[in-house]
Structure 1
Amino acid sequence: MLVQLRQYKHEEVQFDDNRTTGESQTEDTVNPDSEEYFGKDMDELDVETWETVEHEDDPIQRRSVTIGGVTAVSVPRKPTDEDDPDLPGQTIQLRMGGGIENLAQAEIVEVQDENPQEPEAEGKVSKEDESHGKASMDEEP
């Protein structure tokens, strides 16, 4: 399965620069012309980018996470030690071929099958065919 999540953390504010609380630290440090600087567009690079959003009038950071190859998704019944009641989300447990990964302070956005199997239609009649009735080929109009 392909799982898309949002993960949250407290903003790591550094007051030794000219930045004000709420400004994104990640965007401020990235050269806006990334293709010229890195030789590639930023979307092509595997970079962890957190954006600053507001939650209950406080700035927090959020990122989108997409993970493939997941076989099961679960949410613990009770909060874990990693869960922070001041942030949205909770611990999400992902089971994959190589083991189990926990993502703290996460919310599920979407889960989808990467390789959906089409059911075989052989021997099945649609409700539309049943309700309208079909004339056989031998009947005259």
Structure 2
Amino acid sequence: MANHSVPPSPAADASRLANGEHYLSSMWRGNPLSDCLTNRLVRIDQNTKAAIAILDVIRRDFTSKQDLRDTCEEDERVLYVPLTEHVVDCLMLGLESLLSESEDLLTYVRDNERDVCRQPLKEAARV
């Protein structure tokens, strides 16, 4: 039996859910544009990032399948789980939804609907 035992480590902090502000929203916080316009631009930014992530998954799956096709029996096999046709279809639907929403938001800003571009600047930016 050991004379000098090591004390147990302290209990880990309870896990926290991400209930706070999205990191992209916080990056736009200092923008001097009106909240109305900024909110639309934040959404476009988030949609763009999500669309890029979906495209990365589809590209990775495509290049993996190309690598698998191009390797010989003697070569080391590429280990991956290919995406099913259903999964690719779901990703494409998600991508279409993100791009469609971004298109609508950009049209709203471009056409200056409800005079969104003439909204006053945020108070903090004017001072």
Q: TM-score, normalised by structure 2?
A: 0.22
* Structure whose residues are more often helix by fraction: 2
Q: TM-score, normalised by structure 1?
A: 0.21
**Looking at both structures, which has the greater relative contact order when contacts are Cα pairs under 8 Å and sequence separation is at least 6?**
2
* Structure whose residues are more often strand by fraction: 1
